[in-house]
Structure 1
């Protein structure tokens, strides 16, 4: 058999008995790859094409004790189901673990069943937001899964592998749900000190296959997380990592950045925290450390944050420290809806924050959600008008999805606000064309029509053109002042 690269490894050995095989699944890598390419804002720039940091942490943890674990990203590796099954047959993993979002879970179950046919003694598990939200239902729905990991796996993965041959031992591990303990499993325990984890094992990846999360325009971008958890209560989010923010120390974070630069030639960092900036004090501390260590001269960085709890000065300091790109979850252009979905932000904060970000020379992007609880068609047009005023580099209009574990799903199941769930086919649970929820007054078909109308107002932009626009940016407040003067003079 000829050698083939599996995202991170050359497959040469026959009969290499693996302790664990980690998989990011796809039934059709070509279709999945085309979908990724279609997400690009600028065809020359990446968008959400990043290596799986969760699997990289797990590999690092298992390597520290000499376990044999490999990772296959089926899309990035261009690996068919048949090729994956053949690899499993040759390497005989004790455990195969799938890392999945809701839209991937059925694909994972199908692949798991095929692996079971050639490796009947291999145990197969699944982790990720979907499994965490509904572990028992997931086991009941998919017989090809032997157990579920319902939380952070790093501190239990070694025990899981060592217990692979004994379902009784697996059933006693906190956060592991089996068919034997599914009515009495021990809840997962969050890792309180994230600094005890080894840095992600990027040395096990072919990083050339991952162009990046955002348009970093450097030789290599790597993902990082500075903390886990989110203290906010947005109704559409499942909060798989908990409600309390657990932040790594600055020394630990800076150490990882320095290691990424020195060992891998990294030139940009994409912070994947749900909310990177929770307080201005922490943000200033981070930026000051970046500058003190001269890391701002070696890497650029991007993040997601809220439009609340910031200042004009903060964004200038962030830019000086290397920040070039920020994503904002805007969600709605209606004040009542923002309250209803528990977003805890205001429209004036959106306008002011984007204004400050542009003045600092940072690229702003954002998203409005179509069809949240209690909303109607008019709110889509309100979002379009606000989007025009904000003039972001990129703005997306996903349709609301009642993901398992969210308050939105609870509301829809109860028929609140007239919501109704149209399908539990997890293959449909994507954000751009779900077709899984609507109301009698705001049908799915109409949501799709309005989504198309919204996107027609915001054609994709070239990053170079937008950067030139930022150089000559006039603050929104000044534009409005000029408009008022012109109106009065008339």
Structure 2
């Protein structure tokens, strides 16, 4: 009988970005288990009630910090039905392995593919035997006495090319962003920078899938899903310039850039003529910048090394010069940030409304694995054992600062002042994003018009050809 493994990602379906795209991390794990294990039956679920009904042999729950309470609820619901192994994975348990609750048996720390493979073999042969679990690198687990143990760290996967493509078919297509419109991929793991607010700093080094592997995955996506856009969801896809150049060369050599448009993240200090030319000529039409702030003081706090307000403006100007659609991500609420600093950034955004088509803003968070989290656990503001991780979520339409709402880390502004400012910034975000959507529709209509004109021209050319004229004469003669 097959060993049944259920996969689920903890999420809040009322928060749009959490249900916009499938979780590729679980997709990679599924692909590796399918490839390397016999006698396993995998399923992916978006509703924990499906898992309770399925009655699997083990469950893997992936969770970010903001959804950790949901993951604990999922585990409790599963355990109430049957005492099967429940494995937690994701950045939260990786950063806080000691946070494993009683309703979870094992934490998968760091990359999950090799760990899940070894773990499933142990679980189906030996169950939750502590002596056997101690041999599995890269986990935390509860032993027979109920104490949490942490095993030796697992080496990073290297080279990444030995992984199969993530199992997108298992993850399904019932997501807010239809995959025929946009499909995302990850061509690297980690980031070469160490921004204070980001959990990517928890990776000890950056690793990359090879250019050939990356382009092969693009081709795989195009063959099966034919999306309008492919979104390179790496922390910083263009950060390795030589590799990015090689990928662009292959995409153009195979004509792939004429079949799909691309979207990627970039950084203001990397924007120059060479990069813009590569992106423009290879159909990287959407570029999203992690600008964060227009205050040098706040940039320094965030450890945005190499970035300045002048480079912010230069990057926007340069991308506009090359006709690329630009998005900007901004954070408000740094501990060193005054209301005047926030207003400076707000006015920078307003001055560049003609250059920014997508705007994403958010109050500063302290996710485990980030430098901000370390800072605020060390000073006692955050107690990992009691903190309500729902407070990591910010809802622009219903933003609130209260005992059960957003945790304001800034002490230079009052809660009322910050709430008013954030609401103003969210209003600007709605305006800019609506303008961006209209601009994209105009470009789409222009492209359709050009295609129609080209098709008409081709038809007119065909009608004038001797072969077609002869064919029309023969058809008329045959009708007599």
Structure 2 length normalisation: TM-score?
0.81
Structure 1 residue corresponding to 2:293, chosen from 332, 336, 342: 332
The answer to whether structure 1 residue 390 and structure 2 residue 352 are counterparts is yes
Take 1:205 and 1:404, find their aligned partners in 2: how far apart are those partners? 26
The answer to whether structure 1 residue 158 and structure 2 residue 123 are counterparts is no
Take 1:445 and 1:145, find their aligned partners in 2: how far apart are those partners? 39
> Offset at 1:175?
0.7
The answer to whether structure 1 residue 63 and structure 2 residue 29 are counterparts is no
Structure 2 residue corresponding to 1:113, chosen from 52, 73, 76: 76
Take 1:263 and 1:229, find their aligned partners in 2: how far apart are those partners? 28
Local SS of the residue matching 2:59: strand
The answer to whether structure 1 residue 35 and structure 2 residue 15 are counterparts is yes
Cα 1:462–1:34 change in 2 (3 A) is farther
Aligned position for 1:438? 409
> Offset at 1:172?
1.7
Local SS of the residue matching 2:326: strand
Structure 1, gaps ≥5 residues long? 1-15, 27-31, 40-46, 472-490
Aligned position for 2:459? none
The answer to whether structure 1 residue 298 and structure 2 residue 259 are counterparts is yes
Structure 1 residue corresponding to 2:107, chosen from 143, 148, 162: 148
Cα distance per residue 1:433-465 (max 9 Å; x no partner): 451233443244432221001223341314453
Indicate conservation of the 8 Å contact 2:319/2:325, yes or no: yes
> Offset at 1:468?
7.8
Structural mapping, 1:216-227, within 5 Å: 219-227=180-188
Structural mapping, 1:261-410, within 5 Å: 261-344=222-305, 345-391=307-353, 392-410=356-374
Local SS of the residue matching 1:19: strand
Aligned position for 1:210? 175
Take 2:43 and 2:435, find their aligned partners in 1: how far apart are those partners? 34
Local SS of the residue matching 1:368: strand
Q: Which has the larger radius of gyration?
A: 2
Take 1:449 and 1:420, find their aligned partners in 2: how far apart are those partners? 23
Cα distance per residue 1:70-128 (max 9 Å; x no partner): 34342xxxx3x4343222x2xx32x21111111111111112111112121x1001111
Aligned position for 1:6? none
Aligned position for 2:478? none
Cα RMSD of the aligned pairs, angstroms, is: 2.5
Indicate conservation of the 8 Å contact 1:228/1:241, yes or no: no
Aligned position for 1:54? 25
Cα distance per residue 1:117-149 (max 9 Å; x no partner): 2121x100111111111111x11xx21110101
> Offset at 1:281?
2.6
Indicate conservation of the 8 Å contact 2:337/2:412, yes or no: no
Local SS of the residue matching 1:156: helix
Structure 1 residue corresponding to 2:421, chosen from 450, 466, 489: 450
> Offset at 1:212?
3.0
Indicate conservation of the 8 Å contact 1:231/1:243, yes or no: no
Take 1:67 and 1:339, find their aligned partners in 2: how far apart are those partners? 53
Aligned position for 1:82? 49
Which structure shows the higher helix fraction?
2
Aligned position for 1:175? 138
Local SS of the residue matching 2:434: coil
Structure 2 residue corresponding to 1:98, chosen from 50, 55, 61: 61
> Offset at 1:267?
4.0
446-455 vs 224-233, greater mean Cα deviation: 446-455
Take 1:437 and 1:256, find their aligned partners in 2: how far apart are those partners? 41
244-253 vs 161-170, greater mean Cα deviation: 161-170
Take 1:281 and 1:342, find their aligned partners in 2: how far apart are those partners? 25
For these two proteins, the number of residue pairs brought into alignment is 421
Cα 1:351–1:441 change in 2 (3 A) is closer
Take 1:240 and 1:384, find their aligned partners in 2: how far apart are those partners? 27
Cα distance per residue 1:21-58 (max 9 Å; x no partner): 111124xxxxx43431xx6xxxxxxx971111111111
Take 1:71 and 1:463, find their aligned partners in 2: how far apart are those partners? 38
Structure 2, gaps ≥5 residues long? 400-404, 445-480
The answer to whether structure 1 residue 250 and structure 2 residue 211 are counterparts is yes
> Offset at 1:241?
5.8
Cα 1:325–1:48 change in 2 (3 A) is farther
> Offset at 1:394?
2.1
Cα 1:18–1:104 change in 2 (3 A) is farther
Structure 1 length normalisation: TM-score?
0.80
